[in-house]
């Protein structure tokens, strides 16, 4: 009997314990539901507040729209609410280049970008829809480059997307040969025309240490072979041979180069020779070279040559089987692949005074871009900082989906 009572007592205690545990579980579940509900309500309140604030900014922007002139890019760090130094802000503003300095307002008047800022209001497209601030995406495309001079251009629109000291005078080295090549294509009287490479040009070129394509003195070469020799291996003998064919002398051809530069609006450019060999009065800017390359790429012959990796010449007496030369850019670059696309072609340049230079064309995310860089440290015997810069910038475009 006594054992039975004890067993019943234990059963009643076990039952009460189970009831207490079940109660605690129900209470904990109610607490969790209460917390989840509170957080949900708070999030909904924040979302509603954000929507209302955005709507208010929308109304404010539209209210100001009738009186505002064209507005330059908004500083990226201002949009994020961060403070920047005056020096940092000026560097970010510089990345927009000269193309942002002449926009038209609604009355057709030109704005120089110095008008009073309208604050951190969002930008809108022609349909009144809010658009992403492309300035924020583009501001640091050229950040951290080895090259002190640089400009990035959308080829289709001609818009400067980013720039770095692009209006400062610098030495172009063999980027000069872009002008030599396009003038020869336009003025030589046909790509199949043949010409004799002059004997007398070699002594001075060897003394200067000029790069050569490989043609021999007295060799008969076609204009096409010589233009390939200008753009791919950067052959100085090809430049002077074409200049004498077109104009009778290198000096007369240089006059035509400067005339073409004036026609294209290359206001800070002056050529002294066809090769880019150093001369203190032979100068240009990154922006001017970009203008020149945009013009040259409209010519199908030029673009076809500019984007070749290698080329074999026609047979001649000196070279019965022809000979092959290679693009100096692709020799430095190796694989032209970048994020979202590839580097299609380019013209390198180097002198001790000019540093490593490159004017290149790339297609990224289905769009064509031009990048001109100059003044990178190094030489033909060091790391190719100019092609490293090109891969860096084009890959950033691909990563950001611009």
DSSP assignment of 353-388 equals TTEEEEEEEEEETTEEEEEEEEEES--TTS--HHHH
Tokens encoding 318:
């000196």
Residue with tokens 């900014």: 57
Confirm whether 234 is a catalytic residue.
yes
- Which residue in the list 177, 260, 347, 391 is annotated as catalytic? 177
pLDDT for position 17: 65
pLDDT for position 8: 55
Alpha-carbon span 343 to 332, nearest angstrom: 12
Strand ranges for 155-193 from DSSP E: 160-164
What are the φ/ψ torsions at residue 227 (nearest 5 degrees)? -65, -40
Alpha-carbon span 162 to 172, nearest angstrom: 19
Confirm whether 90 is a catalytic residue.
no
Alpha-carbon span 376 to 388, nearest angstrom: 10
Low-confidence spans in the chain with pLDDT less than 50: 60, 62-125, 127-131
pLDDT for position 14: 61
pLDDT for position 167: 97
pLDDT for position 101: 33
Alpha-carbon span 256 to 261, nearest angstrom: 8
Alpha-carbon span 254 to 171, nearest angstrom: 16
CB contact at 8 A, 187 and 179: no
What are the φ/ψ torsions at residue 63 (nearest 5 degrees)? -65, -35
- Which residue in the list 234, 327, 332, 360 is annotated as catalytic? 234
pLDDT for position 133: 58
DSSP 350: E
Confirm whether 347 is a catalytic residue.
no
- Which residue in the list 147, 166, 174, 287 is annotated as catalytic? 174
> What is the third-level CATH fold of 173-400?
Beta-lactamase (3.40.710)
Residue with tokens 């190719």: 384
Considering only CA atoms, which of 183, 215, 188, 193 is closest in space to residue 202? Answer: 215
pLDDT for position 40: 78
DSSP 168: S
227: helix, coil or strand? helix
């Amino acid at each position: 009997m006594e054992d039975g009572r004890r067993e019943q007592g234990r059963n009643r205690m076990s039952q009460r314990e189970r009831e207490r545990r079940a109660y605690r579980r129900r209470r904990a579940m109610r607490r969790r539901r209460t917390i989840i509900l509170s957080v949900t309500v708070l999030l909904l309140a924040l979302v509603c507040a954000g929507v209302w604030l955005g709507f208010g900014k929308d109304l404010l922007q539209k209210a100001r729209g009738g009186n505002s002139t064209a507005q330059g890019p908004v500083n990226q760090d201002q949009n994020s609410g961060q403070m920047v130094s005056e020096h940092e802000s000026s560097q970010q503003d510089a990345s927009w280049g000269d193309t942002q300095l002449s926009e038209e307002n609604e009355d057709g008047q030109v704005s120089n970008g110095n008008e009073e800022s309208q604050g951190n209001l969002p930008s809108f497209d022609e349909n009144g829809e809010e658009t992403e601030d492309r300035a924020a995406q583009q501001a640091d495309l050229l950040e951290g480059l080895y090259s002190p001079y640089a400009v990035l251009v959308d080829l289709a629109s001609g818009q400067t997307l980013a720039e770095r000291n692009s209006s400062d005078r610098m030495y172009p080295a063999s980027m000069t040969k872009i002008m030599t090549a396009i003038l020869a294509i336009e003025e030589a009287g046909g790509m199949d025309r043949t010409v004799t490479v002059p004997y007398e040009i070699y002594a001075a070129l060897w003394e200067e240490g000029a790069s050569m394509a490989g043609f021999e003195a007295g060799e008969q070469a076609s204009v096409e072979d010589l233009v390939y020799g200008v753009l791919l291996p950067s052959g100085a003998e090809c430049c002077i041979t074409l200049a004498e064919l077109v104009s009778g002398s290198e000096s007369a051809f240089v006059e035509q180069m400067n005339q073409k530069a004036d026609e294209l609006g290359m206001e800070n450019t002056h050529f002294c020779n066809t090769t880019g060999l150093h001369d203190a009065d032979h100068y240009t800017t990154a922006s001017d070279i970009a203008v020149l390359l945009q013009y040259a790429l409209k010519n199908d012959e030029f673009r076809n040559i500019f984007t070749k990796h290698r080329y074999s010449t026609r047979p001649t007496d000196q070279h019965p089987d022809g000979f092959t030369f290679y693009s100096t850019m692709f020799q430095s670059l190796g694989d032209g692949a970048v994020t979202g696309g590839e580097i299609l072609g380019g013209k390198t340049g180097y002198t001790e005074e000019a540093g490593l230079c490159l004017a290149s064309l790339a297609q990224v995310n289905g769009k064509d871009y031009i990048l001109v860089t100059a003044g990178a440290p190094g030489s033909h015997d060091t790391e190719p900082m100019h092609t490293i810069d090109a891969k860096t910038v084009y890959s950033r475009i691909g990563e950001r989906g611009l």
